[in-house]
Amino acid sequence: MNLSVNTFYELSEIQYSFIARKFISMPVLEQSLKPFNTLQIEHSCTHLLHAKSKEELTQYCLELYRSEKPFMLLGGGSNIVLTDDFQGTVIRVESKGVLKTEDQDFYYLDVQAGENWHELVESSLLMSIQGLENLALIPGTVGASPIQNIGAYGVELKDVCDWVEYLDLASGELIRLNAVDCDFSYRESIFKKALKSKAVITAVGFKIRKLWLPVLTYGPLKAFDKETVTAKQVFDCICQLRNEKLPDPTVLGNAGSFFKNPVIAKAQFMKLKEEFEHAVGFTINDEEVKVAAGWLIDNLGLKGYTVGGASVHEEQALVLVNLGKATGSDVVQLAKHIIGSVKHAYDIKLEVEPRIIGANGEKELLDD
Ligand SMILES: Cc1cc2nc3c(=O)[nH]c(=O)nc-3n(C[C@H](O)[C@H](O)[C@H](O)COP(=O)(O)OP(=O)(O)OC[C@H]3O[C@@H](n4cnc5c(N)ncnc54)[C@H](O)[C@@H]3O)c2cc1C
């Protein structure tokens, strides 16, 4: 076994042979992933490991990577579509721990990847840290939050992120990347591009200004007076809005917004407005407009449109739901129908948000 020297997580021979025995020669046990994905798709994996600490997470990943065994990471399973039984090991990221420090102007949080995102938002408020409240009730783990730069109600992870620590699979080193180097943009980051399949996020650092500036730019939040509003009021309002707008995945399986809001040229948006005066868009800059994908789908009368057991949510066109027995393939076929319809009607290309996972790992929607 070729173990590199001087790496942070180098394994001793004893550790290595213990782990090797444990995982390489493990009997194949089909493990259902239904409880671990919010779309509630019934598919399985060959082995399921629960990484309860950063050390376990790095050891499991390095071991499998170095022995060239297929594996994938799973947080809360709220941003994946399983289209087949995964032929490999799934490592659930369950490492816990939050460390708080501060200086005169900022609070700093050092949070392990397996912490639940919403619980972090809640506990930050209890610690009198204000700034995460707009991101309340987003499902999933802290470790997955930088991957698509989660965002809601005018705030994105990039606004509060200080650094991201990841395990570089090739070298076995833990690397801390400053937020500016994470290449964050709308639902994008370096972890979906140059570092895709190369990095395991182990912890995220937050830097939150003590002088709180509420973000009240969206919908009902505008009704608050910025001089008197509290972070708890914003938090409560957002929880209420989300509970009203989005189906609860424990009741009706879903992966949140299925499509990104497409960004188009202002001239194209003006043409769209001429044809459909109610088209919804948000100006990004002098040249571009972000169009509400939900409106594009709703306007085609696709709410309630069903393929097999998968359907466009009756109230929220951006959300695809599992009516009970949907397969991943139903969800993919439904998504393809929507993409085709939107392209045909408006000449706008929709992109999917969740990751499509097949037997051999992540794949493109069109591969299915
Ligand atoms: C009801 C609902 C509402 C939602 N609302 C929003 C919203 O408002 N805004 C928003 O941005 N998103 C939203 N989402 C999407 C989702 O919550 C986020 O993308 C979330 O960050 C996914 O976290 P997760 O732990 O569930 O990731 P998973 O679904 O478990 O994993 C997603 C991908 O990340 C990889 N991964 C997971 N953990 C790690 C790690 N530690 N290191 C490297 N790779 C990893 C996985 O292999 C997979 O490819 C919503 C989803 C649902 C179901």
pLDDT digits (tens, 9 = 90+) for 109-141: 999 999 999 999 999 999 999 999 999 999 999
pLDDT of residue 26: 60
Please work out whether the CB of residue 93 comes within 6 Å of at least one atom of ligand 1.
yes
Phi-psi region of 12 (alpha: psi -120 to 50; beta: other; left: phi over 0): beta
pLDDT of residue 366: 74
Q: Could you give the CA distance from residue 207 to residue 203 in angstroms, rounded to a whole number?
A: 14
pLDDT of residue 6: 31
Active site amino acids:
187, 257, 353
What is the arithmetic mean of pLDDT over 142-157? 97
Report which ligand 1 atom has the smallest distance to the Cα of 149: 11
SS3 141: strand
pLDDT tier at 55 (50, 70, 90 boundaries)?
very high
Could you tell me the distance, in angstroms and rounded to a whole number, from the CA of residue 148 to the centre of ligand 1?
8
Residue type for position 104:
Q
Where in 96-160 does DSSP place strands (E)? 98-102, 106-112, 151-152, 155-156
Please work out whether the CB of residue 138 comes within 6 Å of at least one atom of ligand 1.
yes
- Alpha-helical (H) ranges within the chain are 13-24, 54-66, 117-126, 231-245, 266-275, 293-298, 328-346
> Nearest residue CA, atom 51 of ligand 1?
256
> Nearest residue CA, atom 43 of ligand 1?
200
Do the beta carbons of residue 238 and residue 218 sit within 8 Å? no
pLDDT in tens, 324-358: 999 999 999 999 999 999 999 999 999 999 999 99
Q: Could you give the CA distance from residue 339 to residue 86 in angstroms, rounded to a whole number?
A: 26
Could you tell me the distance, in angstroms and rounded to a whole number, from the CA of residue 18 to the centre of ligand 1?
32
pLDDT in tens, 22-54: 555 565 567 999 999 999 999 999 999 999 999
